[in-house]
Amino acid sequence: MSNVNEHASRLLLRATPRVLSIAGTDPTGGAGIQADLKSIAANGGYGMAVVTALVAQNTHGVLAVHTPSVEFLRQQLDAVSHDVQIDAVKIGMLAELAVIDEVRSWLQATRPPLVVLDPVMVSTSGDRLLAASAEQALRNLVSLVDLVTPNLPELAVLLQEEPAANWAEALEQGKRLSTATGVTVLVKGGHLTGADCPDALVNSHGLLAETVVEFVSPRVVTNNTHGTGCSLSSAMATVQAQTGDWAASLSRVKEWLNDALAHAHSLEVGSGNGPIHHFHQLFADRAPRGREFSESLWAGITSIRSRIFELPFIVALGNGTLDGVDFAYYLAQDAVCLNTYSHVLTRASRLAPTEEEQRFWANSAQLCLEVEAELHRSWVGDHPQPAPGLVTKGYLDHLLAVGVQGSYAVVVVALLPRFWLNAELGERLQAEILAQGRAEAHPYAAWLETYSNQAFVDSARRAVAFVDAAAAAASSGERQNMKAVFEQSSQFELDFFDSPRLHARL
Ligand SMILES: Nc1ncnc2c1ncn2[C@@H]1O[C@H](COP(=O)(O)OP(=O)(O)O)[C@@H](O)[C@H]1O
Ligand SMILES: Cc1ncc(COP(=O)(O)O)c(N)n1
C-alpha cells in the first residue's frame, strides 16, 4: 500500500484473488457493492463486501442514504481482516468524513497489499454520494492507495481545478495528481463525447513503461452506464492481483467492460440508466433454449435479408418484369446447385442423431433431385448442364467442404439458409403477387409456388427446429462456428440471387 516498491514486493499474485469491496449499496444491483461483487467474480476473483452506506437508489437516481455507525463499519472490516487474507481492496462510496477516517485507520492497521480507490462523489444521475465537507479527507486518502480511478469531474475536485474540457487536459490533470500524490491515476474518458472512449494510466514516478499508457476503445452507444466506474475499479483490483501489471490489467478489463456495455441492453433492468452485463461471457456459454439460437442467427443476417429484397433480380422477379435471359441463367445454375445440395443433405441424414432427423434430411435430398428434374422438364429443357458459374462454384465448394469436415450441427446450419431464405422469399413474393391480383398473368407464379407452397414452408420450419436442437447440444465453440457457417451460406444465397445480373450475359 502507498509506496510503489512496497506494493510490488508485497503483492502475491493469485489465480483467484480474495478481493474486498468497501462501498455503498445499490438495491437494483447495477452499482456500488452489488456491481463490485459481480465484477470481481466475472474477472475471476473471490468477492467480499463491507457496506459503508445503504443507498435507496435505482436506475433513475438516489432517494435516500443511510450511513450506519462507524463502530459497526469497523466491526465489519475487522470481521473480514481478522479471518481472511485479503489480496486486494477496492474502495468506493465513503459518504462522509467519519467513514473516511475509519477506513483510513483500518487501512493503516491492516496494510492490504493492493488498494484501488474509486473516489465516488456524485452518481451518474447527478446525486451527491459524498458530503462536500468530506472532500479534503478523500484527497488525503489518495496518497495511501496504489491506484485512483476518478472520472473527469472527480479528477477536477481532487485537484481543486476546473473539470478538463478535453482528453489532453484530462491527461495533464492526471499527471498533476500523480505527481502530487505518488499514486498511479486511471484517467477515464467516459464523460467526454466522441466516437472513442479513451482511458489512461498515468504515473509520474516511473512505475509504468511510460508516464501515460493509453487504451482507446470504441464508445458503445447505450444509456446503460450505471455502475461502470464501480465495475471498472473492482475489476482492476481483481485483475491486478492476478497479473501484477497495471497496463496488462487495464487492457484486459477495458475489453471486458466494453463487451459488458455492448450486452447491457439484453438485461432489461429498470427504465433509466440500466446496469452493464457483468456476466456476458458466462451467459454466452449457456446452452440456448427453444428458438433462441435460430432467432439470433436470423437477427444476425438482417442486413443480408434486406439486401436480397432490394436486388434488381428479386424486384423484377416479384413484379414479373424479369428478363428471360436472367431467369434462364438462374434456373440453370439452380439445377447445378440442387444436385450438390442433395449430396450434402444426404450427408446430414447420415450424421443425424435421431431417426426423425435422418428421415427428414433424406427426404429433403430426394425432393431436391425431384425439383432438379422438374426444372429440366419445365424450364431448362434439354440444354446440356452448364458449368457452374463463379458464384455457384463458390457456394458449392463451401457446402461440400462443410459436408466433408463438419459435424452434424455445422452441416445442417450450412444447409439452412437455402430452406429459410427461399421460404421467406417464396412467401413474400407470392403474397405480393396475390395482393396485385395477378397470379394468373404472372410469368413466374408457377415457379414461385415451389418455394411458397405449404410443404416447403413446413420443411423450412422443421429444419430451423433441428438446427435449434443441434445448437442446444453443441459446445459454445461449435455454436460460434455454426453462426459463422450460417452467415457464409446466407451471403452465398445473396450472391447467388445477384449472379444473373453479373454473369448471365458473359
Ligand atoms: N459509452 C461507453 N462506451 C465505452 N466505454 C465507456 C462508455 N462509458 C463509459 N465507458 C468506460 O467506463 C469506465 C467508466 O468511465 P466514466 O464514465 O468516465 O466513469 P464513472 O462511471 O466513474 O463516471 C471507463 O473505462 C470508460 O472508458
Ligand atoms: C453505492 C454507489 N456507489 C457508487 C455509485 C456511482 O455509480 P457510477 O459508477 O454509475 O457513477 C452509485 N450510484 N452508488
Helix/strand/coil (H, E, C) string of 222-249?
CCCCECHHHHHHHHHHHHHHHHCCHHHH
| Structural domain range at position 45 | 4-277
Categorize the per-residue pLDDT at 9 as very low, low, confident or very high, splitting at 50, 70 and 90.
low
Higher-confidence residue of 244 and 375: namely: 244
Q: Is 285 within the bounds of a domain?
A: no
Tell me, what's the pLDDT at 274?
A: 97
Q: Rounded to a whole number, what is the distance in angstroms from the first to the last CA of the chain?
A: 74
Q: Is 483 within the bounds of a domain?
A: yes
Indicate whether 298 and 376 sit together in one domain: yes
**What is the whole-number distance in angstroms between the Cα of residue 171 and the centre of ligand 1?**
16
Instruction: Please say if 110 is a catalytic residue.
Output: no
Q: Is 283 within the bounds of a domain?
A: no
Indicate whether 320 and 179 sit together in one domain: no
Tell me, what's the pLDDT at 8?
A: 53
Distance from C-alpha of 34 to C-alpha of 324, rounded to nearest angstrom? 66
Q: Is 437 within the bounds of a domain?
A: yes
Higher-confidence residue of 253 and 445: namely: 253
**To test ligand 1's pocket by mutation, which of 91, 120, 197, 249 has the most ligand atoms within 8 angstroms of CB?**
197
Reading phi first (left if > 0) and then psi (alpha if -120 to 50, else beta), residue 44 is in left
Indicate whether 134 and 95 sit together in one domain: yes
Distance from C-alpha of 360 to C-alpha of 419, rounded to nearest angstrom? 13
Q: Is 366 within the bounds of a domain?
A: yes
Indicate whether 475 and 352 sit together in one domain: yes
Tell me, what's the pLDDT at 371?
A: 87
Instruction: Please say if 368 is a catalytic residue.
Output: no
CATH code (residue 88): 3.40.1190.20
Q: With the CA atoms of 399, 403, 407 and 412 taken in that order, what torsion angle do they form, in degrees rounded to the nearest 10? A: 50
Going 29 to 30 to 36 to 42, the CA torsion angle's sign is: positive
**Burial per residue of 377-386, b for 16 or more beta-carbon CB atoms within 10 angstroms, e otherwise:** eebbeeeeee
**pTM over 0.90, yes/no:** no
pLDDT above 80: residue 136: yes
Q: Where are the alpha helices (DSSP H) in 291-388?
A: 292-300, 302-310, 312-319, 324-351, 355-375
Distance from C-alpha of 56 to C-alpha of 54, rounded to nearest angstrom? 7
Indicate whether 233 and 355 sit together in one domain: no
Indicate whether 100 and 197 sit together in one domain: yes
CATH code (residue 440): 1.20.910.10
Least confident of 240-254, 298-312, 363-377: 363-377
pLDDT digits (tens, 9 = 90+) for 368-404: 999 888 887 876 676 677 888 999 999 999 999 999 9
**What is the whole-number distance in angstroms between the Cα of residue 189 and the centre of ligand 1?**
6
pLDDT above 50: residue 3: no
The mean predicted confidence, pLDDT, of the chain is 93
Q: Is 107 within the bounds of a domain?
A: yes
Rounded mean pLDDT, 312-335? 91
Burial class (CB in 10 A: 0-12, 13-18, 19+), 206: exposed
Catalytic residue among 228, 238, 340, 392: 228
Indicate whether 119 and 232 sit together in one domain: yes
Instruction: Please say if 229 is a catalytic residue.
Output: yes
229 lines ligand 2 (CB under 6 A): yes
pLDDT digits (tens, 9 = 90+) for 344-359: 999 999 999 999 999 9
Tell me whether strands 115-117 and 88-91 are parallel, antiparallel or unpaired: parallel
pLDDT above 70: residue 7: no
Q: What is the ipTM of this complex?
A: 0.98
Indicate whether 296 and 261 sit together in one domain: no
pLDDT above 80: residue 240: yes
pLDDT digits (tens, 9 = 90+) for 427-456: 999 888 888 777 677 888 888 888 888 999
Categorize the per-residue pLDDT at 115 as very low, low, confident or very high, splitting at 50, 70 and 90.
very high
Q: Where are the alpha helices (DSSP H) in 376-475?
A: 390-405, 408-435, 445-452, 454-473
**Could you say which of 253, 277, 301 is where a domain stops?**
277
Indicate whether 200 and 52 sit together in one domain: yes
Rounded mean pLDDT, 218-241? 96
pLDDT above 70: residue 243: yes
pLDDT above 70: residue 4: no
Indicate whether 207 and 313 sit together in one domain: no
The count of structural domains within the chain is 2
pLDDT digits (tens, 9 = 90+) for 62-111: 999 999 999 999 999 999 999 999 999 999 999 999 999 999 999 999 99
Please report the atom of ligand 1 found closest to the CA of residue 191: 18
124 lines ligand 2 (CB under 6 A): yes
Cα three-residue angle 466-343-290, rounded to 5 degrees: 5
Tell me, what's the pLDDT at 442?
A: 83
Cα three-residue angle 89-110-138, rounded to 5 degrees: 60
**Could you say which of 277, 310, 331 is where a domain stops?**
277
Indicate whether 319 and 415 sit together in one domain: yes
pLDDT above 70: residue 154: yes
Indicate whether 235 and 158 sit together in one domain: yes
Rounded mean pLDDT, 23-41? 98
Tell me, what's the pLDDT at 436?
A: 79
Distance from C-alpha of 160 to C-alpha of 177, rounded to nearest angstrom? 10
141 lines ligand 1 (CB under 6 A): no
Whose CA is closest to 98, among 120, 118, 75, 68? 68
pLDDT above 70: residue 317: yes
Tell me, what's the pLDDT at 382?
A: 66
Q: Is 59 within the bounds of a domain?
A: yes
**Could you say which of 247, 277, 307 is where a domain stops?**
277
Q: 266, 275 in Cβ contact below 8 A?
A: no
Q: Is 287 within the bounds of a domain?
A: no
Q: What percent of the chain has pLDDT over 70?
A: 96
Tell me, what's the pLDDT at 2?
A: 46
- The grid coordinates listed for 325 are 435471359
**What is the whole-number distance in angstroms between the Cα of residue 49 and the centre of ligand 1?**
23
Instruction: Please say if 188 is a catalytic residue.
Output: yes
Closest Cα to atom 7, ligand 2: which residue? 227
